[in-house]
Amino acid sequence: MSMRLRRIPLFVSLLVSMVLWVVACQPQVESPDTPAGSPAANSSPVLLNGTGASFPYLIYQQWFSEYNQLNPLVQVNYQPTGSQVGIQQMVAGTIDFGASDVAMTDEQIAEVEPGVLLLPMTAGSVAIAYNLPGIDSGLKLPRDVYPEIFLGTITNWNDPKLAAANPDLTLPDRPIILVHRSDGSGTTAALTRHLSAISPQWESEVGEGLSVAWTSGVAVKSNAGVTAQIQQAEGAIGYVEYSYAQQLGMTMAALENQTGEFVLPTLEATEAALSDIELPENLRAFVSDPTSPDAYPISTYTWLLVYQQYDDAAKAEALRNLLEWCLTEGQASSPALGFVPLSDAVTTRALEAIAQIKS
């Protein structure tokens, strides 16, 4: 499968709209009327409401929009509120499906009476994006440097450690503006899981999770919010899902991986990182520090969270049909939007899980 990227104006427009929404602090609530699983089987429209991870927002919007065009009776209202909210709403039973970059824990699943299925839908990486006038490429961040930036112990762009790693760049004497998430975020979980794996200081002082006690930096809500803040502030650096950085042409750093190679968050590098993962029975697995010399260090699957049992038979059928389409025809949209299509083996496992959705 070709990994060549192409721009999709529709999604540049969607992403810009989302960034403006965050900056204005006014969520754009879509007003879908109804979604239904299979038009051939259902004569009435069905609405599926979901919320959660912003990490896969661009591809979910693409899938749900395309599927609605093919099946007008099926409409999906998905709000990118963050992985933590997606999990909370699944436990509360207030949505039809959730989304999270950390799936759910066994304890959280045990709280859900209808049962929960964790479905890997796509995969991506967490880019370290920055805004440094005059340096549009080439920044390298060693494994002993970028944890210190996120800890707030390296505070200036011409710090000796940064300068030593980038002898071909003229780094300016200006403060680093660190930008991080304020909401419970799977993107944060992926980053902090990796930082905990490579930095004992990070592990002991901050640790990993959807939300952590940051020791420095500016807190902003959602991937789109972090993206907007980095773009607005010269000297800023932060972490965003790769598709956001790619679609908006942001400048990204190359990170040193476990083998000492400096790697950008390309689709090929993300795919190499995922080669370390063998999915268990529950389809929940992570890679905190991939071993391949070609791997980008911060890569992850992202999951949809669905109930095993639905009271509404039409919703159950609509959801099964939608998810089957996303895992098959829908995967073709992944590379252009900055996501890695699932392997045949992972797709087969996810399709088997979808068959367990009952009413």
Clarify whether residues 96 and 138 are in a common domain: no
Alpha helices, DSSP H, located in the chain: 9-24, 57-70, 83-92, 106-110, 146-151, 160-165, 186-198, 200-205, 222-232, 242-247, 267-274, 313-327, 344-354
Clarify whether residues 144 and 119 are in a common domain: no
What is the pLDDT averaged over residues 92-121? 96
What is the pLDDT averaged over residues 13-19? 47
**Is residue 178 a part of any domain in this protein?**
yes
Clarify whether residues 138 and 66 are in a common domain: no
Q: What is the DSSP string of 154-173?
A: --BTT-HHHHHH-TTS---S
| Mean pLDDT value across the chain | 89
Clarify whether residues 198 and 280 are in a common domain: yes
Clarify whether residues 259 and 338 are in a common domain: no
pLDDT at 20 over 60: no
What's the pTM?
0.85
Quote the pLDDT of residue 355: 95
**Is residue 159 a part of any domain in this protein?**
yes
Range of the domain at 186: 126-299
**Is residue 1 a part of any domain in this protein?**
no
Other Cβ atoms closer than 10 A to 358: 13
Quote the pLDDT of residue 43: 66
Q: 35 by DSSP, 3-state: which?
A: coil
Token duo for residue 21: 């929404």
Alpha helices, DSSP H, located in 25-179: 57-70, 83-92, 106-110, 146-151, 160-165
C-alpha to C-alpha distance for 74 and 325, rounded to whole angstroms: 12
pLDDT at 191 over 70: yes
Clarify whether residues 234 and 275 are in a common domain: yes
Q: What is the DSSP string of 168-209?
A: TS---S-B-EEEEE-S--HHHHHHHHHHHHH-HHHHHHT--S
Q: Which helix (H) or strand (E) holds 300?
A: strand 299-307
C-alpha to C-alpha distance for 207 and 195, rounded to whole angstroms: 8
Contact 265, 283 (CB under 8 A): no
Contact 171, 163 (CB under 8 A): yes
Quote the pLDDT of residue 208: 96
**Is residue 2 a part of any domain in this protein?**
no
* Least confident range of 3-12, 83-92, 190-199: 3-12
Contact 308, 113 (CB under 8 A): no
Pairing of strands 46-52, 299-307: unpaired
pLDDT at 23 over 90: no
Clarify whether residues 29 and 161 are in a common domain: no
CATH code of residue 328: 3.40.190.10
Clarify whether residues 267 and 179 are in a common domain: yes
For the chain, the C-alpha Rg in angstroms (whole number) is 20
**Is residue 259 a part of any domain in this protein?**
yes
Clarify whether residues 136 and 253 are in a common domain: yes
- Last residue within a domain, chosen from 299, 322, 346: 299
Q: How many domains does the chain have?
A: 2
Confidence bin at 268 (pLDDT 50/70/90): very high
**Is residue 4 a part of any domain in this protein?**
no
**Is residue 359 a part of any domain in this protein?**
no
**Is residue 113 a part of any domain in this protein?**
yes
Quote the pLDDT of residue 223: 87
Clarify whether residues 130 and 251 are in a common domain: yes
Clarify whether residues 217 and 272 are in a common domain: yes
Task: Express each pLDDT in 36-75 by its tens digit.
Answer: 334 444 468 999 999 999 999 999 999 999 999 999 999 9
Clarify whether residues 208 and 253 are in a common domain: yes
Task: Express each pLDDT in 217-261 by its tens digit.
Answer: 999 998 889 999 999 999 999 999 999 999 999 999 999 999 999
